[in-house]
Amino acid sequence: MKAIFVGAEEASGMLGMKECIEAMDGCFRAMARGDAGFPPRLAVPLPSRRGALGLMPGYLAKEGVFGVKATSVFPENAGTRYESHQGAVLLFEADHGSLLGAVDAATVTRVRTGAASAVATRALARKGSSVLSLLGAGTQASGHLDAMAEAMPGLSKVKVWSRDAAHARAFAKGADGRGVDMEACEGAEDAVLGADVVCTVTASTSPVLLGRWLGPGTHVNAVGASRPPARELDDEAVKMARLFVDSRESARLEADDYLVPLREGAIGEGHILGEIGDVLEGKVRGRTGDSDVTLFKSVGLAVEDIAAALFVYRRALELGAGTVLEFGAERESGGAGPSAYSPAKDR
């Protein structure tokens, strides 16, 4: 049987931010309707403790696909030529279980993470928001700048901060030419004050965003802390906000931005008002007024990776792109024919 493998360079050219935002919107809506699902992710630490293998399986029922993102996670790769997350999203069809293909996981993760925040920003931020704050200046900061440019049509100013001031300056310089005012800030507070939308995209294990810095009406996308003990927001920032998550179950297992203030009694279990898909589907009210502080806490979901990989796979079929390999085998007789998604059939 044949499967399509799409590497980083090709995947980057196929998975545009606009298209990925719409794919994430559809993914969250599918979750709200019960048409998508996934178990908790599994992390297998290496004996050296320098890295781990992460496995994130899930399915999209209406699309007829399931899959898994398998990645190595090496935090010490920061600042080297290697990504901290490397691997592939494997995509299968749900009629017979055949492998459709594989897509570079780092590309998918970079784009879909920002795209998910863009969906939340469109749903929760005040109309006319124009000032963006980025706490962090790495790969996800770049992806979120692209995403917020789509989600905030009036974006005019971006303030960026990093624990390494040189990184913030390099990021701001590298983003010149976007038609917005880029400012590298010496302190996180300076970057947050006056911002309409704040994106935290760090690997911090202690808060980098304090609630007292947030003005009325601010929307926050808390992205960087996806597993304990990572944490980016203090108790006050979470307590003052209308809190929405990508997944209730995942937040209750992995989001220390929520779990720490819960354990400390700053908030109750009902502080999560809903999943972002519930807001999109009109099941839960998002922003109630211009003075609300809203918070989207994401940890990243397997179904997001599968939705993004499916988009790349379909685009590869259209373009005749990717590398087609014989993978797996069919029985010589009595076996099912090619699936609806089979590259052999669609090509």
Q: Which of 250, 220, 259 is nearest to 237 (CA)?
A: 220
What's the longest Cα–Cα distance across the chain?
69
What are 15-52's pLDDT values in tens digits? 999 999 999 999 999 999 999 999 999 999 999 989 99
Over the Cα atoms of the chain, what is R_g? 20
Residue written as tokens 């005040």? Answer: 126
More reliable by pLDDT, 334 or 229: 229
Q: How far apart are CA 5 and CA 1, in angstroms?
A: 13
What are 163-205's pLDDT values in tens digits? 999 999 999 999 887 889 999 999 999 999 999 999 999 989 9
The one-letter amino acid code at 6 reads V
Residues 6+ apart with CB under 8 A from 220: 197, 198, 199, 200, 209, 214, 233, 237, 241, 293, 294, 295, 296
pTM reported for the whole predicted model: 0.91
Rounded-to-5 percentages of helix, strand, coil across the chain: 35, 25, 40
Structure-block tokens of residue 240: 């003052």
pLDDT at 137: 94
Q: Which of 200, 228, 201, 202 is nearest to 214 (CA)?
A: 200
Q: How far apart are CA 67 and CA 101, in angstroms?
A: 10
Please answer whether residues 299 and 227 qualify as being in contact, where contact means their C-beta atoms are separated by less than 8 angstroms. Answer: yes
Percentage of the residues of the chain whose pLDDT score is greater than 70 = 95
Domains and CATH numbers, the chain: 2-108+302-346 (3.30.1780.10), 127-297 (3.40.50.720)
Is the pLDDT at 148 greater than 70? The verdict is yes
